[in-house]
Copies of this chain bind each other. A is one copy, B any other.
Amino acid sequence: MRQLFELCGNDRDIRFSPFAWRALFCLAHKGLEFERTPLMFLEKDPYEASGSTALPVLKDGETWVTDSLDIAKYLEATYQDNPLFGSDVALGQAQFLNNFFNQVVVGGLFPMLAADVFDLLSDDNGAYFRKTREPNFGGATLEQMRDKRDSMVDAYRASLNPIRATLGSQNFLCGDAPAWADYAAMGGFMWAKVVSKFDPIANDDPINAWRERMLDLFDGLGRSAKTV
């Protein structure tokens, strides 16, 4: 029995975590069966045995794995078919890519989308989210950051230039077919799609065409996600 514990909103069908989306795509890429267990921020008991206090967490039989990159590495080491990396060099490169996707793709979205996440949460989970996330904004509230997002989106789009240039010469970040790096980047855009009507990507951007290809994968795993 394989089980992915992932964040959800007050509506448990709203599954928004960018890191959970990475793990979901990796499980699907490996062709593995799994159940999804939605949990709110403050519901930490079900995965206490993992030793982690943050989601996503994978339980595979009796093995607990935490952190989305470590989940990908675990799947690659345990299930050889359909490589997510395929070489030690690719695994090394993945550490850099993970930092870029976390800092630039997800980190750049965060101030623009955090208030939309807050709006999806119950009172106690929302209070927890505000208390832990708002201090990142130098005195501004989640809502004040959201109010500024139209003025932030151009710089955000420019920060994605290395992704944009890559998708000008190949269909996926990993080449002719998607693999871990595509899922890691797409996690951020799934998060945006689920929590907000605000689209950080322009329609005519090659990133949008790639995003459409990603939404089609695995019988529309991403496309069928419930959104606000």
Chain A residues close to B by CB (< 8 Å) = 83-97, 99-100, 103-104, 161-163, 165-166, 169-170, 172-176, 179-181
Chain B hits for A175, CB < 8 A: 88-89, 91-92, 95
Residue of B nearest to A85 (CB): B89
Q: Given that A103-B161, A162-B104 are contacting pairs, would A93 and B94 also be in contact in the complex, using a CB cutoff of 8 Å? A: yes
* 22 A/B residue pairs, CB under 8 Å, sorted by A: A83-B89, A85-B87, A86-B90, A87-B89, A87-B90, A89-B174, A89-B175, A89-B181, A90-B93, A91-B175, A92-B174, A92-B176, A93-B97, A93-B174, A93-B181, A95-B169, A95-B173, A96-B166, A96-B173, A99-B161, A99-B166, A100-B100
Tell me if A179 and B92 are in contact (CB < 8 A).
Answer: yes
| Inter-subunit contact A165/B103 (CB<8 Å) | yes
> In the docked arrangement, what's the CA distance between A178 and B84, Å?
21
Partner of A96, one of B85, B91, B97: B97
The docked-state distance in angstroms from the alpha carbon of A90 to that of B165 is 17
Oligomeric state, in copies: 2
State A84–B93 Cα separation when bound (angstroms): 11
Q: A83, A166, A179: which has the most chain B beta carbons within 10 Å?
A: A166
Contact of A95 among B83, B95, B103, B170 (CB under 8 A): B170
Residues in B with CB closer than 8 Å to A181 are 89, 92-93, 96
CA distance A83 to B84 in the complex (A): 18
Beta-carbon nearest neighbor of A171 in chain B? B92
**Residues of B close to A88: CB separation below 8 A:** 86, 174-175
> A92 and B172: CB pair below 8 A?
yes
A164 (CB) vs chain B CBs: closest residue: B99
Please name the 8 residue pairs, one residue from A and one from B, whose CB atoms are nearest each other, closest first. Answer: A92-B175, A86-B87, A87-B87, A90-B90, A92-B174, A99-B162, A100-B162, A99-B165
> Are A93 and B95 touching (Cβ within 8 A)?
no
Tell me the bound Cα distance from A162 to B159 in angstroms: 12
Question: Contact: A173 with B97, CB < 8 Å?
Answer: no
Contact call B180/A95, Cβ cutoff below 8 A: no
A223 to chain B, nearest CB (A): 23
* Bound-state Cα–Cα, A163 to B92, Å: 12
